[in-house]
Structure 1
Amino acid sequence: MNAFRTEFTVPVSPWKLTPASRVVSLGSCFADVVATRLTDARLSCLHNPFGTQFHPPALFRLIRAALGETEPDGRLFLQHDGRWLHYEVHSSVAGATREELEEELRRRLAVLGEALRTADILLLTFGSAWVYQLQEPPVYVANCHKQPSGLFVRDLISVKDICRDFGKTYQLLKELRPDLRIVLTVSPVRHGKDGMPDNAVSKSILRAACHYLTTDYSDVGYFPAYELLLDDLRDYRFYADDLLHPSRQAEQYIFEKFAGAYFDSALHRWLAEWARIRKSLDHRPFNPASEAHLSFLRKLLQSLEEWADGPDTSAEQEEVRKRIAAILSSSNLS
C-alpha cells in the first residue's frame, strides 16, 4: 500500500480510441489537456474552437448551433476595448468589426459541425455549475467579458437542468452521428473566485449530473479526472503555483490514466512509435550527407508511411523526403 496516496482503478472502457479515431474535445481544462496531447501525437482532434467553456449550458448551446439547430444570438454582440465580442464565446474569439466577428463565428461553427458529424469520441469537460445570466436579454452567458457586474444575475444550475439540456443535445448528435460515443469529465480545478463552499456545491452538481447521464445513456461514459487529482493526488506538490490548477506532472499522470482506459493497443503502440519518430526527426547527424544518414532517413520515412491509415504525418513525411532529396542532389548517393 502506498502510504502517501490513495490510488484507485479507472475502469477500462468497452469502446476505444484507435490511431484513426476522430476526437472533439470541448469544455474546461481537461478538454485541453487531452486534446493537446492527442494533437501533438498527430491524431485528429478538434478542441475548443470557441475558447474555454466552463458550464454545460454554454457547451450544449454551441454544439446545437454547430449542428444547425440555432445560430449565435444577435442580441449578444458587444464592443469592448475596441474589439467586438460575443457573450456565447471566449474573449479570444473577437473581431475588429461586428461583421468580421459574425463571419468568424460562422466559420468556426462550420468547422465544429463538420468535426461532430465525423467524430468517434466527444469529450465534454464540465467546469462549473455557477452561471451568469444577462438581465437583458435574460440569457445565460459563457463569458462576462469584464462587463459591470450589475448587468448579470448569478445563478446555480441544477442536476435536472443539465440532464434535460444534455438530452436535447444528445438526440441531435445521435441523429447525425449514430456511432458517436461521449465521455464526460468534471474539471478538477477549483474555482477560487466562487469561494470554496460554493465551489464544492458546483462540483457536486456536475458530478451528480455525470452519474445520472452515464446511467441513462449506454454510450455515455465518465472519466474521473476530478477524483484522480483530488483523491489520488491529494497533495499540493501536484498543483501549479496558484494551488488551484494541476501541475504538468499531475496532468501527465491523469492523461496516462485516460490512455489506459480509452486507448486500444494500436494507439499505445503508435504513441511509443511517435516518441521515437520525434526523437529521430530532431536528430542532427555529424555528417548529414553520409550513406548512413541517408539510410537512417529512409527507415524513418518507412516508419511514417506504415501508419498511412492512422495519424496524419504528411508534414513530417514531406520534411523527410526533402532531406533525402537534398542529400541525393548534393552527392552521388542513390
Structure 2
Amino acid sequence: MKEIKLSTEVALDAPDWKIDHHTKILTIGSCFAEVLGSQLGSYKFDVLNNPVGTVFNPLTICKILDNAMEGKRPNPALFLQNPDQIWLHHDFHSSQWAAGQGALDAQLSDQLDEIREFLAEADVLVITLGTAYAYRHRKTNLIVGNCHKVPADRFIKELLHFDQISIAFEQLIQKLIPYNRKLRILLTVSPVRHTRDTLPLNQVSKSTLRLVAHRLSEKYKHVEYFPSYEIMIDELRDYRFYKEDMIHPSSLAEEYVFNAFAQNYIDAASLKFMNEWASVRDTLAHRPQHGLTPGHLKMLKSLWSKLNAISRTVDVSAEMEEVERRIGEFPGM
C-alpha cells in the first residue's frame, strides 16, 4: 500500500557537531530566539537567552553584539523619556527601562558586559532575524532597534538592502573569529509574519533575510542555517498551528519546531536526559489532590533523590530547594 504523506517535509542538513549540556548557548534576535532559548533553558541547557529583549532588525543585532565585544556603552543620543517619565533607549526593547537615564545606562552597560563575557566562552550563537525593515532616527540619522511609540515623523522606515545586511554581518563575523575561535553561528529566520508591512512586503523582507543567511552559510564553514521559517510555512501549513492572531505560531507549533531543532542538533545523551527531565518537571508540577498524605510525602522524597542524582551533572538547586520546602510542610518534618 502506498504511503500517504499529509505535509511537505523540510529536509534538515545533519551538522558535524552537536549540542550537549556542557554547551554554552547565546540567543539573540526576534521573539523566536527567545522562544528557542526558553525551551533550551527549560531543559537545563546553559543559555543566555535574548539578554536585552527582542531585537527585530539585523543591523541592530549586529550593533549590539559589536558594542558588547568592544565594551562600548549605549549611545547617549538615543535615550528618551516617555510620557510616564520612564527612560528607554532606541537601540533596545521596551523591556529595558529605568526611572532615570543614569540608571538605564548602567543597566544596559551591565547587560552588554554580560554578553561580552558569555560570548567569549560560548560554543553556539543563535541569531534569529525578524524583519529586513528598520527605522532610521531622523535626528541622529541612525538605524535604531525600537521606536518606543515616539511620533512616526521622527523616523524614516527603510527596507534594508541585501548588501547593507551582508556587510554588517561579515564585519561582525570577522570580529567574532578572533574573539572566540570555537564559536559556531546558527542563523534562522523568524516564522512570525510582520503584517504591518503588508503580507506581500513581509515576503520581500523575509526573502532578503533568507538570502543573507544563505550567502553567509555558504561563505563561512562555522555558520549554518536552521529552517524554522520553512518548517512553519511548509510543514505546518494550517491555521491550527497559529495563535488567535493568525500570525504567531501556537505552542504546539513552537514545540514542533523545537523538536525538529533538538533531533538535528542535540546529542543522544542530552536527548535522553530531556525525556527524563520532562517526567521530573511533570512530577514537580503535580499538586496533591488529598493534601499532605503519606503517599505524597513518599513521592516528594523519591523526587528529591532523583534530583540529587541529576545534580551531579546539571544545576537543579532551585528545584531541590522547592521540594525540600514542600517536604518541610509535613508535620514533624
TM-score, with normalisation over the residues of structure 1? 0.91
- Amino acid of the structure 2 residue aligned with 1:50: V
- Amino acid of the structure 2 residue aligned with 1:165: A
Segments of structure 1 that go 5 or more residues without pairing to the other structure are: none
226, 239, 244: which is aligned to 1:241? 244
Separation (CA, whole Å) in 2 of partners of 1:201 and 1:219: 27
Which segment is superposed worse, 158-167 or 77-86?
158-167
158, 161, 164: which is aligned to 1:161? 164
- Amino acid of the structure 1 residue aligned with 2:28: L
**Structure 1 equivalent of residue 113 of structure 2:** 110
Q: Which has the higher contact order (CA 8 A, sep 6+)?
A: 1
- Amino acid of the structure 1 residue aligned with 2:74: P
124, 127, 131: which is aligned to 2:130? 127
Separation (CA, whole Å) in 1 of partners of 2:323 and 2:245: 42
* Cα contact 1:26–1:53 (8 A) shared by 2: yes
Instruction: Provide closer, same or farther for how the CA distance between residues 84 and 177 of structure 1 changes in structure 2, counting only shifts above 3 A.
Output: same
- Amino acid of the structure 1 residue aligned with 2:35: V
Instruction: Provide closer, same or farther for how the CA distance between residues 310 and 262 of structure 1 changes in structure 2, counting only shifts above 3 A.
Output: farther
* Cα contact 1:19–1:266 (8 A) shared by 2: no
- Number of equivalent positions: 329
- Amino acid of the structure 2 residue aligned with 1:34: L
| RMSD between aligned residues | 2.2
Separation (CA, whole Å) in 2 of partners of 1:19 and 1:295: 30
- Determine whether 1:80 maps to 2:82: yes
* Cα contact 1:24–1:119 (8 A) shared by 2: yes
- Amino acid of the structure 1 residue aligned with 2:8: T
Segments of structure 2 that go 5 or more residues without pairing to the other structure are: none
TM superposition shift of 1:26: 0.8
- Determine whether 1:259 maps to 2:262: yes
After the TM superposition, which residues 91-102 of structure 1 pair with which residues of structure 2 at under 5 Å, given as runs? 91-102=94-105
Separation (CA, whole Å) in 2 of partners of 1:77 and 1:284: 46
1:295-329 CA-partner distances (Å, limit 9, x unpaired): 654543343233345432111123344556776x9
TM superposition shift of 1:103: 1.1
TM superposition shift of 1:172: 2.5
TM superposition shift of 1:281: 2.6
Instruction: Provide closer, same or farther for how the CA distance between residues 56 and 325 of structure 1 changes in structure 2, counting only shifts above 3 A.
Output: same
**Structure 1 equivalent of residue 277 of structure 2:** 274
Instruction: Provide closer, same or farther for how the CA distance between residues 323 and 80 of structure 1 changes in structure 2, counting only shifts above 3 A.
Output: closer
Instruction: Provide closer, same or farther for how the CA distance between residues 282 and 240 of structure 1 changes in structure 2, counting only shifts above 3 A.
Output: closer
Instruction: Provide closer, same or farther for how the CA distance between residues 287 and 136 of structure 1 changes in structure 2, counting only shifts above 3 A.
Output: closer
Instruction: Provide closer, same or farther for how the CA distance between residues 240 and 280 of structure 1 changes in structure 2, counting only shifts above 3 A.
Output: closer
* Cα contact 2:133–2:159 (8 A) shared by 1: yes
Which segment is superposed worse, 263-272 or 173-182?
173-182
* Cα contact 1:12–1:260 (8 A) shared by 2: no
* Cα contact 1:43–1:312 (8 A) shared by 2: no
Separation (CA, whole Å) in 1 of partners of 2:4 and 2:161: 37
* Cα contact 2:128–2:187 (8 A) shared by 1: yes
**Structure 2 equivalent of residue 33 of structure 1:** 35
Separation (CA, whole Å) in 2 of partners of 1:30 and 1:66: 22
1:159-183 CA-partner distances (Å, limit 9, x unpaired): 2222221122223223232111111
TM superposition shift of 1:35: 1.1
TM-score, with normalisation over the residues of structure 2? 0.91
**Structure 1 equivalent of residue 207 of structure 2:** 204
Helix, strand or coil at the partner of 1:11: coil
TM superposition shift of 1:119: 1.6
* Cα contact 1:19–1:270 (8 A) shared by 2: no
**Structure 2 equivalent of residue 315 of structure 1:** 318
Separation (CA, whole Å) in 1 of partners of 2:112 and 2:253: 32
**Structure 2 equivalent of residue 146 of structure 1:** 149
**Structure 1 equivalent of residue 52 of structure 2:** 50
Separation (CA, whole Å) in 2 of partners of 1:272 and 1:179: 29
TM superposition shift of 1:221: 1.0
- Amino acid of the structure 2 residue aligned with 1:36: S
* Identical-pair percentage: 39
